[in-house]
Structure 1
Amino acid sequence: MHIRTIVCRKVLLPVFSSLLIASFVPQPMASASALKPQTTGVMGAKEAEAFADQFFNQPQIRKQLAGAAVVLVKNDQVLLEKGYGYADLSSKQPIDPEKTVFRVASISKLFTATAVMQLAEQGTIDLHADLQTYLGDLNIVNKTNKTLTMEHLLTHTSGFDYTDSAGGSAQEIPNKQFIKENVPTIVREPGEAYRYDNYAFNLQGYIVERLAGVPFTQYVQEHIFKPLGMGSSSFKLTPGLRKNLAVPYTAQKDPIPEYPSRPAESPDGGMFSTGRDMAQFMIAQLNGGQLAGARILSRDSVLDMQQIHHQIHPQVPGTGYGFESFYQNSYNGQRVIGKGGDLPGYHSWMWLMPEQKVGGFVIFNSDGPDLREEFFKAFMDHYYPGSPTTASTTDTSQAELGQLTGIYQDLRLPFWILQVSATDDGKLTIKDPYGSHILREIAPLLFEDELGNKAAFKVNSNGTPYAFYNKMDSWAKKAPEPHGYTDVGNEHPYASWIHEAGQLGVLASDGENAFHPDQEMTRAEFISGLMHLTGVAPSQSTPLTSDPQEKKYLGYVQKAIELGLVQGCGPEQSFAVTADITRQEAAVLMWRAAMIAGVNMTQSSGIKLAGDTAPWAVEAVKYIVNNGMYGPEIALNSAGALDYRSTEPLLRQEAAALLSLFCNRLSVK
C-alpha cells in the first residue's frame, strides 16, 4: 500500500490544533489596565463598565480583537454584560452578549460535571465506586492495581494512555460510537498524575446518557439549561443558534469555515451559549446551586465541585470537579476556581471567586494573543491587587536536589520536555521551550523562578517523580534512566541522542537489545516515532497494508495522514509505507509537526544549503539545518554552506539525533 508524500500545505484539522492552543502557561506580562487599583473589590455596574471599556479601548487590544463578550456578576446581580467588536467583521454585526452565540469549548465540561453531580445526589452514581459498574458492555483495560472511579474522570487523573483524539473523518459521529471506537487503556494508577482528559468527559456524557435513559443533550437541556433559563444554550447547533453564531477568525482575521464537533454534541467541548446564559450559570454556582426559585444542585454538591481535589503541591492550585486553576500567577492571594475553553477561533475563560460572590466570563471569536489572560490579569490587579510577598528559601541538600534532576516528558504532549539540573549553590536550573531559568526552593518541593513562575515536584508512592512548570494542562513525568544497547557504547558519536530517544520512547530496540545505529529505517517506523511525540492515539483502523513487521506502525501512519502530516498533490507522488525514508522526507515531517505545534519557526543562523534538495523540501531542510537538528554526519564546507545529503536514506542513529534535538531545541512563539 502507498501513502502520500509530504509536498503540499493544507488547512490542518481544527480538532488537533485545538489540542495545542491552551497547553502553555503565558509568560508574565504587565497588566494592560491603567485604571487605579481598587481595594474593595467589584462595587457597581457603572464602574465595572468603565473598567471594561478602558481595557477594550486600548489600541493594542483593539488591533488584535475581532469580537468579545464580557460578563461580570456579583451576588445575584449581573453587573456587566457587554459586547466589544464584531460577531461578523464583513457585515459589521456587533457582539450582543444576549444574542450572540459562541462555542464555549471546554467550559462545556462544567455542565457535564454538573449532570454527573446531579446523578450522584440521586444515588445513581457513586463518585468513588468502580467505574466499570456504569459502563455496560464497554470494557476499559486496566494495567494497574487501582480502580478507576468517576472522581478520577472529573479531575483529569484517569491514568489513560490517550486522552485526546485528533483527525479522523470530518463527519460527526455520535458520542456512543466515538467512545467505543477510541477506548483507551489505563497505564498509570488512577489519581497518580494530572493530564487534561477530553475522553474522560465524553465518557461521563456517555454514562449520564446510559443511566438517565435519555440522550445527553436532552438531559442537560431539561435538567440544567431549562431550570436556569439558558434559552440560547445547547450541545446541538440548531438553526436558531447558527443564525446568531459568531464567526470564528484566525489571528490574521481570516474567517474559519464552520467545523463539526467530534464527537457530535460532544460533552467535553461541544456546547454553544451566550454571555447572558453564562451569567445565569455563574450566579447559580455562586449561590449554592440555586437561581431564583430553581435549584440544579445542592449546596454541598456545589462546594464539592469547587473544592480542589487533586494538586501537585499544597501551595499550587489544582483541579476540582470540572473546574481548574489556570492563570495562577494572577490570583493575587485570592481563591479562584475557573474553566477555560479553546477551539479554533473561540477562546473563553470563566472564573469564580466564591468568598467574594464574584464571577466573570469572557469569550473571544478570534485566535492570536491570549486576551483572556490579559483581561483576567487586569481585572484581578484592578479589583483585588495582591500585596507583594517575600518568599522564604528552603535549604536543600545537593543529594535531595539530585533526586529531582533529569529529563521530564510532558504527559499530554510528549515532545514538550523539561531538563532539570542542580547548581553548585543549591538551586535548580530548568530548561523548557520557553528557555532556561533558575529555580530557588521556597518550600519543600516547591520552587520559584526569577519571573515569579512556580515549579512544583511530587514523588509518588512508587518513587515516580512528576513536575509542573510553565504548562497548564498536564504534569511532566521523569523519564527513566537511559537504556543501554549492546551495539551502542558510551563512546559512540550518537550515544547521547540514541539513549535520549530511548528515554522518550520514540525508537525501539530489537528483541536482542540492539539498536542497529547504522541501519536504514522505513517511513512507517519514523512516522510512528514522530507521532509518539504528539501524544495523539493511533488510528484503530486503516486501509493501509504492509509487510508484517511494519504492521504495528500503521495506526500511527494512518493518524499522520488524517492530521495532514503526510499528504500529497496527486497519486503520482505516492510512495510505499515500507520504503526507506530519506533525510529530506524526514525533515518535512518534522517541519510540519513544528508548524502544527505552533512553535517558533525562526531561522536565524542563515546557513546556506549545498547539494541537492527537492524544491518541496527546501524550506523544511532549512528549518532543520538552521536549528542544528543533525549529528556529525554533516558539517559546514569551506564556503560556509552545508550539504544536508537530503536525498540519502536516514539512518537510525540520525533519526535518533533528529527526534531528540527536535524536543530539545523546540521553542514556543
Structure 2
Amino acid sequence: MIKRISIFLYIFLLGLCFPNPFSAAENSTPSGIPIDELGEFIDNYAEEYIGDTVAGAAIIAIKDDHIVFSKGYGYADVENQIPMDPETTVLEWGSITKLFVWVSAMQLAEQGKLDLEEDIRNYLPDGFLTKLNYDDPITILNLMHHNAGFEENIFDLLFDSPEQLVSLEQVLKTAEPEQVFKPGEVVAYSNYSTSLAAYIIEEITGQPFYEYVDEHIFEELEMNQSTMHLPVEDNQEIELHKGKGYFSGENGAFIESEPFYISMYPSGGINGTAADLAKFAQALMQSESGNTSLFKENGTVTELLSTSYAPEEDVPGLAHGFWEYDGEYRGLTHSGNTIAYSSNIQIVPEDNFAIIILTNQADEIDLLFGLTDELVGRGDHTVQENLPPASEVEGSYLSARRTYNGFMNLYTYLAPLHVEAMNDSEIELELGGFKATYMQTDPYVYKLKNGDDVFIPSNVMYFHENNGNVVQISTTYADYLPMDKSKAFLFSSLGLFIWCMLYFLINPFVLVVLAFIQKRRKKKILAVTKWNWILTLSGTALALNIALLIIRMLNKPMRTYSELLPHFIGNYVFSVVSFISVIIVIVFWRKKRLSKVQKTGYVLTCISSIMFIVWLVIWQMYS
C-alpha cells in the first residue's frame, strides 16, 4: 500500500515538473505565452512604462471564460498615491463605449424591432438629417462600418462644464457633419454615426439610451461599478472611485487633467472598472453551450462577431462594429481615447482569450497596442510569388477621417501619410514622425514588419489599385485617399501665409516710422496714405485674429462652434474692409503724384491684402 502511494506521489510530482506539452500548448495566450508565465511577462513589460510614460493601468486577461490575470499598475491618483485596482478603480472607457451601441442594435435586430439593412431615415423624424448629399440609403450596417459618408466634426463634442451638456437629439442636430462620400464607399471612423445609431435605438425603445444599456446590459451582466449616464458626478459611488486622468509632462511628470463632458455620450461616455469590462468580454466569448445573457438566441452573438464588412478577401474589416485584427488568430478589437484616458479590448474567439487594458493616461499606445500585440501575436506573413513592385504604391495620402468643410480641413495636410518603397516587396510608412516597415504578402496587401507601436492597430494595409494607380488605402479605423494637392501648391501656400503674417505684423511699425519722418519734414498726409493705413491695419487685424485662433485651438482643440464664431465674423469684417481699402487706394494713387517708394509700398500692401484674402478663401478660414 505504501509502495503504491509512493509511486502515485512520484508520478504526480513528475507531472508538476514536466507538464503535458499538449496541455501547455492549449493553456497559453494566442501568441504562445504559457498562462502560468503570463503574470511575470506582463510585469516585465509594464515595468518599462509605468511611472515613466503611464500614470497607471488596470490589466485583465481572460482564458477559457476564466480570469487568469488581473492586476493594477501605478496610481489611480498620483498625488495621493492611491494604487490602481482593476476591481474598484473607475476609468473612462472612451470609444469602447461604441461596442455597447452595436450590441444594443443587435439585441433589437434579434427581436425584429430593427432591420440592419433598412434606410435609417425610416427610423428618424422627418427632416432630421439636413446635410446629406446622396440619395443612396444609409443603413445601420453603414453606421456600424463607419462608411455612411460623414466628414469629421470635432466641434460641440466635448465640454469642460456639465452645464453645457445637452440632449443626444439636440447635439446630433447641432453637430451634424456634411455627407462627403456615397454610403459604403469609404471607411472614415465617425463618432456621429455611432451616436446617431444610439438615437435610433432611443426612437425604437422610447427610453434614453443610457437607461436602455443600464437595463439590458449592465444589469444583465451585473456591471455594478459602471455608468453611461453623464455627468458622472451624479453617481457618488462612481465618482468616489474614479481615477484621475493625466497628461505627460516634462521629466516624467504627470499633469492632472480637468474633467470633460460629452453630449454625444454613446460614442465614448462609459465610466467603469476593468473588472466590469471583463464581464462584458466574457459575455461575448461563447461557452461550449453558446449561451450568453446578452441575447435570447445562441446564434446572435455568432452573427455579431462575424465579418460584416471587408475591403478585400482575407483582409481585416469589421464585425458589426468590432474591428478585426490580424493576430495569430482572428481578433476582434476596439480602443478608446478621451482627453486623459486610453483603453483597449481585444477578444480572440477561436482561442477563447481576451485582454483588457485601461489607463488614466492621455494617448497611451505602448501598453494598449504593444502589450496586446505581444499577447495575441501576428498573423501569417507567408509571401506569394510574382507580386507587383512596391513602387506602385508610393505616394502621399490623407486620412478619409477628416474635416472637409471649414478651417480645420487645413490640419490634415500638416501630417499626411507618406509611403516610400524600400525594395520590391517592402515599404516604409511615415505619419506624424512615426515610422514603420510593411511587407507585401499578397498583391497590394502589406503587413506590419516592425516600427512604432502606433501602427499596430493598422497592422494590415490594402492598397486599392486601378490602372496602375492607388485610389484608396484600407486600414483600421479610417481609409486613406491620395493627396489632392501638390507639394508645390502646399509649399507655395505655406510661403504665402508666412509672408502675409510677417508683412502685416511688421508693416505697421514701418508706417509709424515713415509717418514720424513725414511729420518732421512737415509734409501733408495724403488721403491715399490714410487709406493705406486702414488697409494695413485691417490686414494686421486678420493676422492677429488668425494667430489667436491657432493658439486657442492648440491650447484646447475640443471647443464648441460658438466659441470660434467671433473669429470667423472677424475674418469676414476685416476682409471686407481690406477689399474696400484696396479699391480706394488704387483709385486715389491714380489721381495723385506719388514717389516710386510710395507706389511700391502701396502696390505691395494691396497685393499682400488680396493674396491674404485668397489664402483665407482657399483654406476656408471663414467657417
Q: TM-score range by the shorter chain?
A: 0.5 to 0.7
Partner AA of 2:103 in structure 1: T
Partner AA of 1:319 in structure 2: L
1:558 alignment counterpart: none
2:416 alignment counterpart: 417
Q: Summarize deviations over 1:57-94 as a string: whole Å, max 9, x none.
A: x3454533322111111233222222122211222212
Change (3 A) 1:500 1:459: farther
8 Å CA contact retained: 1:497, 1:656:
no
Deviation at 1:417, TM superposition (A): 2.1
Deviation at 1:256, TM superposition (A): 2.8
Deviation at 1:218, TM superposition (A): 0.8
> Quick one: distance in 1 between partners of 2:158 and 2:339?
17
Q: Summarize deviations over 1:617-639 as a string: whole Å, max 9, x none.
A: xxxxxxxxxxxxxxxxxxxxxxx
1:55 alignment counterpart: 45
Q: 1:233 and 2:239 equivalent?
A: no
Deviation at 1:49, TM superposition (A): 3.1
Change (3 A) 1:91 1:420: closer
Q: 1:319 and 2:318 equivalent?
A: yes
Change (3 A) 1:310 1:543: closer
Q: 1:196 and 2:189 equivalent?
A: yes
2:281 alignment counterpart: 282
Change (3 A) 1:655 1:474: farther
Q: Counterparts of 1:476-491 in structure 2 under 5 Å?
A: 476-480=480-484
Q: Summarize deviations over 1:295-319 as a string: whole Å, max 9, x none.
A: 4453333223222322333343122
Deviation at 1:120, TM superposition (A): 1.1
> Quick one: distance in 2 between partners of 1:543 and 1:47?
54
Change (3 A) 1:280 1:144: same
Partner AA of 1:473 in structure 2: Y
Q: Counterparts of 1:64-83 in structure 2 under 5 Å?
A: 64-83=53-72
2:516 alignment counterpart: none
1:102 alignment counterpart: 91
Match 1:360 to one of 355, 362, 366: 355
Over aligned residue pairs, what C-alpha RMSD do you find?
4.5
SS in structure 1 opposite 2:262?
coil
2:383 alignment counterpart: 391
Q: Summarize deviations over 1:25-54 as a string: whole Å, max 9, x none.
A: xxxxxxxxxxxxx74453887544333333
> Quick one: distance in 2 between partners of 1:300 and 1:370?
36
2:471 alignment counterpart: 465
8 Å CA contact retained: 2:59, 2:358:
yes
SS in structure 2 opposite 1:161?
coil
> Quick one: distance in 2 between partners of 1:317 and 1:89?
39
Q: Summarize deviations over 1:124-160 as a string: whole Å, max 9, x none.
A: 1111011101111312433224211110111111101
SS in structure 2 opposite 1:50?
helix
Q: Summarize deviations over 1:168-217 as a string: whole Å, max 9, x none.
A: 75322221211111122322111111111111111111111111111111
Change (3 A) 1:220 1:429: closer
1:380 alignment counterpart: 376
Q: 1:221 and 2:222 equivalent?
A: no
SS in structure 2 opposite 1:362?
strand
8 Å CA contact retained: 1:162, 1:537:
no
Change (3 A) 1:580 1:61: farther
Q: Summarize deviations over 1:482-530 as a string: whole Å, max 9, x none.
A: 6xxxxxxxxxx9667459999xxxxxxxxxxxxxxxxx89559978999
Partner AA of 1:355 in structure 2: E
> Quick one: distance in 2 between partners of 1:578 and 1:267?
42
8 Å CA contact retained: 2:316, 2:460:
no
Q: 1:182 and 2:185 equivalent?
A: no
SS in structure 2 opposite 1:294?
coil
Q: Summarize deviations over 1:330-355 as a string: whole Å, max 9, x none.
A: x2x31111111111221111110101
Change (3 A) 1:48 1:292: farther
SS in structure 2 opposite 1:139?
coil
Which structure's residues are more often helix, by fraction?
Answer: 2
> Quick one: distance in 2 between partners of 1:374 and 1:200?
29
> Quick one: distance in 1 between partners of 2:317 and 2:115?
22
> Quick one: distance in 2 between partners of 1:168 and 1:316?
34
**What TM-score do you get using the length of structure 2 for normalisation?**
0.67
Q: Summarize deviations over 1:218-277 as a string: whole Å, max 9, x none.
A: 11000100011111111122111000001111123434344232216x000000111221
Q: Counterparts of 1:497-512 in structure 2 under 5 Å?
A: 497=491
1:254 alignment counterpart: 254
Q: Counterparts of 1:606-645 in structure 2 under 5 Å?
A: none
5+ unaligned residues in a row in structure 2: which ranges?
A: 1-23, 403-411, 452-458, 497-538, 580-603
Deviation at 1:360, TM superposition (A): 1.4
> Quick one: distance in 1 between partners of 2:95 and 2:561?
25
> Quick one: distance in 2 between partners of 1:496 and 1:365?
38
1:348 alignment counterpart: 343
SS in structure 2 opposite 1:280?
helix
SS in structure 2 opposite 1:109?
helix
8 Å CA contact retained: 1:524, 1:553:
no
SS in structure 2 opposite 1:63?
coil
Q: Counterparts of 1:522-601 in structure 2 under 5 Å?
A: 522=542, 544=565
Greater Rg by CA: 2
2:330 alignment counterpart: 335
Deviation at 1:433, TM superposition (A): 3.6
Identity %, equivalent residues: 23
> Quick one: distance in 1 between partners of 2:494 and 2:396?
9
Change (3 A) 1:338 1:290: farther
SS in structure 2 opposite 1:361?
strand
> Quick one: distance in 2 between partners of 1:193 and 1:529?
31
Deviation at 1:107, TM superposition (A): 0.6
Change (3 A) 1:437 1:75: closer
Q: Summarize deviations over 1:333-391 as a string: whole Å, max 9, x none.
A: 3111111111122111111010111111111112355321222123235xxxx697442
1:141 alignment counterpart: 131
> Quick one: distance in 2 between partners of 1:365 and 1:481?
39
Deviation at 1:97, TM superposition (A): 1.5
Partner AA of 2:240 in structure 1: K
- Per mean C-alpha deviation after superposition, the further-off stretch among 250-259 and 493-502 is 493-502
Change (3 A) 1:457 1:499: farther
SS in structure 1 opposite 2:256?
coil
Change (3 A) 1:348 1:290: farther
> Quick one: distance in 2 between partners of 1:369 and 1:228?
29
SS in structure 1 opposite 2:397?
strand
8 Å CA contact retained: 1:458, 1:466:
yes
**What TM-score do you get using the length of structure 1 for normalisation?**
0.63
Change (3 A) 1:405 1:49: closer
Number of corresponding residues? 490
